[in-house]
Amino acid sequence: MTQPNALEILKQYWGYDSFRGHQKAIIDSVLNGNDTIGLLPTGGGKSICYQIPGLIFPGLTMVISPLIALMEDQHNGLIKRDIKSFHFKGSYSPRSLDEAFRNLRYGNYKFAFFAPERIANPLFLEYIKHAHVSLLAIDEAHCISQWGFDFRPSYLNVRILRELRPEIPVLALTASATARVKRDLHTQLNIPEAQLFEGSIRRDNLHLQLKFTPNKERQLLRLLPTLLGTGIIYAKTRKSCEVLSALLTKHGHSSCFFHAGLSGDLKSLNQSMWIENKVKVMVATTAFGMGIDKGDVGWVIHWDAPDTLEGYYQEIGRAGRNGSTSLTYLLYHQYDIARLQKTLSEVPNIAAVEEFYRSFCSKHQIAVGTGDQLKVQFSIVSLAEKFKLSIPTLLTYIRLLQHRGLWQFIESDRSVPKFSITSSIDTWDRLTLEDRELLTTLARTYPNATHTAHRIDLKRFAAMMHFTIDHFKDKLGELTQRGLIAFESEQSGSAVLFMQPRPSNKSLTFPKNFIDAWLSSKVERTTSMLKFLHSSDCLVQQIETYFDQGKSEPCGACSSCIHNYYPDQEKVKEMVSNGLSLDDIWFDLNCSPDELRF
């Protein structure tokens, strides 16, 4: 019944003649008004599953997504197709929020994207209560599971929307989910009767290679010339990203790097150079790749063993999205094994976690009973130095507090430029004409800035004053130094968003059952990753088993399936005579050291 209509829209806006995998079944379920869960692999076309119903339904489709980059990508994709879409970003005063929802109501918008944190705003909820909404789509829905690998406490607020508008069908989408996460999708989203459609996580165009090597640097440099097209190298730390990128550039491989500590301008520059194929290699921390529509990624390399199979599967999924055969390499050595094994025995010092939270709140003047929805920015490095903690320990503390629901950790956050007027108008007579005109214009344009810090549109205001952006920033900095205003420039860093008021010391507790469950989940994920590194079974089958999909046939293409148990002795002798090391030989021949005979 709905198939021709949906197909016509698919053809009209996306140019495809047919749906893929479970897309049609998911779309039909949504169009029939059912709550629906769709599990489709990366590159499986999840966004189509809410976009086509959204174009068919008469009202608005509201899309919840965890990352700005993801929302921006989907929003811009709709705009390019002349589909009206709105992206809630930045802060909104009551007046501007009213204006936004008026635009949605009377401007024939079909889609509105927003982060789950907005659900905590009572005024935002009040507008949604009366808005003409036909569908609620939840992207990256696994974030709602407290025991998933990417839990975000703000996703728990989604059930508030469900309770507020129970008549609106819900579509929850993600790439993969373990049995526990699937249960949480039903219960935490309050959609117990939701139909679940699960696509196979197997992607036959991805050839998975697991390579043990004591010399990663040497094998990486030998490997890169054999890889076609652009690719991503994932590293665990910011320093590793920068050092690796410099190493590759030194050896003639065009590369750039990406991590949360970069300025917004450098992030945009490096990302665009890679997307436009001006550089071959992007060396990045694991967040890179979400929300980036680049189908021709030919390969992915993990420089460090991932912490979880969920993370590994998500990251390799960024290769081969155009259907071309793509290679993925996980390089590991004994230090990776030791690091993962160490985490199995690490039990957090709960007293130290509680003391860190109290000290953090005190440092930022957050009193007991206050702070709900307050966002605090910081540098991970500076914070670690301040509290005399190693960065891994600090991150463990931050994430444990996140799992407890006290705050949400935002690894990469950008603050908007703000200013306030800190001087009295009657003191401006002594200033130069330029300074007096600038301050007067600021006061007239932003009258509330005399009471509180106010966001400022630097580009627009600089144009009004006939300044360049740089000159305007310098001028604001100079006025700040003279005590006339207080200007805070745009900054990049990490942040936490408080999800509840600061509890009293007596109420700040971590119950034993919570700690036990947290440790059990951590051990389960780490043990699965270690088993993956040690097993000789088909890599794809192992991933299928982890995600409760059962075993199908071996893939026939991964390093386990094509393992060379009987390397040719003459070939080995030839390689030795050509000066190759034993590490080179077993790396190239895909065999283990004890199988070499020469």
Walk along the chain (598 residues) and give the pLDDT tens digit of each residue: 444 489 999 999 999 889 988 999 999 999 999 999 999 987 778 999 999 999 999 999 999 998 777 788 889 889 999 999 999 887 777 888 888 888 888 878 999 999 888 888 888 888 888 889 999 999 999 988 866 667 888 888 888 898 899 999 999 999 888 888 899 999 999 999 999 999 888 999 999 999 999 999 999 999 999 999 999 999 998 889 999 999 999 999 999 999 877 777 788 889 889 999 999 999 998 877 666 778 899 999 999 999 999 999 989 999 998 889 999 999 999 999 999 998 888 888 899 999 999 999 999 999 999 998 888 988 887 888 899 998 888 988 998 998 888 998 887 655 567 888 988 888 898 899 999 999 999 988 888 777 667 778 888 888 888 888 888 988 998 998 888 998 887 666 788 889 889 999 999 988 888 888 888 888 999 999 999 999 999 999 999 999 988 778 999 999 999 999 888 888 999 999 999 998 999 999 998 888 777 6
| Fold of the domain spanning 206-332+522-563 | Rossmann fold (3.40.50)
Q: How many CB atoms lie within 10 A of CB 278?
A: 11
Q: What is the pLDDT of residue 491?
A: 64
Task: Write the DSSP symbol of residue 499.
Answer: S
DSSP 429-481: GGS-HHHHHHHHHHHHH-GGGGTS-EE--HHHHHHHTT--HHHHHHHHHHHHH
User: What distance in Å separates the CA atoms of residue 143 and residue 597, rounded to the nearest whole number?
Assistant: 50
What sign for the dihedral angle of Cα 234, 184, 90, 130?
positive
User: What distance in Å separates the CA atoms of residue 184 and residue 141, rounded to the nearest whole number?
Assistant: 10
pTM above 0.95, yes or no: no
Q: What is the pLDDT of residue 1?
A: 43
List of E strands, 139-237: 170-174, 195-198, 206-212, 230-234
Q: Quote the tokens at residue 569.
A: 């002795």
Name the CATH architecture for the domain at 342-415+493-510.
Orthogonal Bundle (1.10)
Residue 430: what are its φ and ψ, rounded to 5°? -80, -5
CATH number of 3-198, picked from 3.40.50.300, 3.40.50.720, 1.10.3720.10, 3.40.140.10: 3.40.50.300
3-state secondary structure of 562: coil
CA distances to 182, 392, 407, 489, 510 from 515, rounded to whole Å, are: 22, 18, 17, 40, 7
Instruction: With beta carbons less than 8 A apart as the criterion, state whether 120 and 374 touch.
Output: no
Q: Quote the tokens at residue 32.
A: 């029939």
Instruction: With beta carbons less than 8 A apart as the criterion, state whether 234 and 314 touch.
Output: no
3-state secondary structure of 196: strand
Task: Write the DSSP symbol of residue 594.
Answer: G
Q: Quote the tokens at residue 566.
A: 């009987």
User: What distance in Å separates the CA atoms of residue 148 and residue 16, rounded to the nearest whole number?
Assistant: 34
Q: What is the pLDDT of residue 136?
A: 96
Instruction: With beta carbons less than 8 A apart as the criterion, state whether 519 and 405 touch.
Output: no
